[in-house]
Amino acid sequence: MTSDLPQSYNKSFKTIDEQIELLKSRGMLFRDEDQAKHYLLNLNYYRLSGYWLPFKQPDDSFESNLYFEDIINLYLFDSGLKGLLYQALETIEISAKTKFAYYLAQAHGPHPLKTENFTNGYYFAQSYAKLQSEIERQKDRNFIKHYREKYAEELPPLWVCVEVMTFGLLSQLTKNIKNTKVKREIARCYDLDMKIFESVLYHLSTIRNHIAHHSRLYNHTSEITFGIPKILENQCNKNLLGSIYNTIVMCDYILKKIEPNSVLMKDVLELADKHRINKSMMGFTNYQVKI
């Protein structure tokens, strides 16, 4: 009879030398152990373990001819990939916030964050409270202090509010807009269907958080997927909707709507080639990738 009670954690602390010996006992090879010690002391064994996990056998040993330096190469690629996507998501986030503020304020005035302008009052109240909390958290920013000193309204105008709004909050509020004409106008800016745009915004907000928390990205499969527009059907991997490849395809598409000369996909492919990455682990397919 097995117990359902949680068991005690019984793994002991290991020095850097012991960590290296453990990896060697499992079949990992090293070209430069001194450099490996440097990486382990700065990057954390547990963090790096996520990168060697795909190369482990059922008996906990590693695939043959796996070098510690291969893991570092993968880690450095992942770091570069996160940098490219973080920059892309910043551009997309600012653009989406600008359009959200512009079209909603155009329809309902400078202070449209009111229950009657949103479909679900309960969710709106939660979003409103989060926004108030975020404004309070950033109250020392000059534009917040200026508004509070000069005006009586509880919240600044929407085009000011979006400057402190998180990507996740933007996604929540956008989906909850009651005025479908406003939502269609925002989505149309990217030549996307309204429902697809909502799902894309939600997905990208979770990827943004994933990157911000320094989580592994290159082989990440998101449970929060998005609808694939017809224009991207021949590029996306429809067998692995949550793949980071699909995220890159969508970001590349939206970026080109914002900045026609954007080259995100080209940069990702060049980075992958530089680090000799197996792109299938990212969800890349044999479809024609447009760059």
| pLDDT given at position 214 | 92
Are 245 and 226 contacting, i.e. CB atoms less than 8 angstroms apart?
no
Confidence class for position 155, pLDDT limits 50, 70, 90: confident
Does 1 have pLDDT greater than 60? no
Per-residue pLDDT, averaged over 219-225, amounts to: 95
Best CA proximity match to 249, nearest among 239, 237, 261: 237
Does 10 have pLDDT greater than 90? no
Domain boundaries, the chain: 16-66, 77-282
Best CA proximity match to 187, nearest among 226, 139, 161: 226
**Per-residue pLDDT tens for 240-263?**
999 999 999 999 999 999 999 999
How far apart are the C-alpha atoms of 27 and 34, rounded to whole Å?
18
| pLDDT given at position 165 | 94
The DSSP symbol for 29 reads B
How far apart are the C-alpha atoms of 104 and 262, rounded to whole Å?
28
Lowest average pLDDT, out of 151-165, 184-198, 232-246, goes to: 151-165
Phi and psi torsions of 29, nearest 5°: -105, 155
Tokens describing residue 28: 């990992």
Per-residue pLDDT, averaged over 218-226, amounts to: 95
Does 291 have pLDDT greater than 90? no
**Per-residue pLDDT tens for 97-127?**
999 999 999 999 999 999 999 999 999 999 9
Per-residue pLDDT, averaged over 180-202, amounts to: 97
| pLDDT given at position 75 | 97
| pLDDT given at position 3 | 57
Q: Burial of 183 by CB count in 10 Å (0-12 exposed, 13-18 middle, 19+ buried)?
A: buried
> Residue 9 corresponds to which amino acid?
Y
| pLDDT given at position 288 | 53
| pLDDT given at position 78 | 97
Does 5 have pLDDT greater than 70? no
**Per-residue pLDDT tens for 23-82?**
999 999 999 999 999 999 999 999 999 999 999 999 999 999 999 999 999 999 999 999
How far apart are the C-alpha atoms of 55 and 37, rounded to whole Å?
21
Phi and psi torsions of 122, nearest 5°: -65, -50
Higher pLDDT, 222 or 6: 222
Greatest CA span in the chain, whole angstroms? Answer: 69
What pTM was estimated for this model as a whole?
0.91
Question: Which residues, 6 or more positions from 124, have their beta carbon under 8 angstroms from its beta carbon?
Answer: 115, 118, 173, 176
Among residues of the chain, what percentage have pLDDT more than 90? 85
Confidence class for position 274, pLDDT limits 50, 70, 90: very high
CA atoms within 13 A on the CB side of 251: 30
Q: Which residue has the tokens 């989060």?
A: 130
Mean pLDDT of the chain: 93
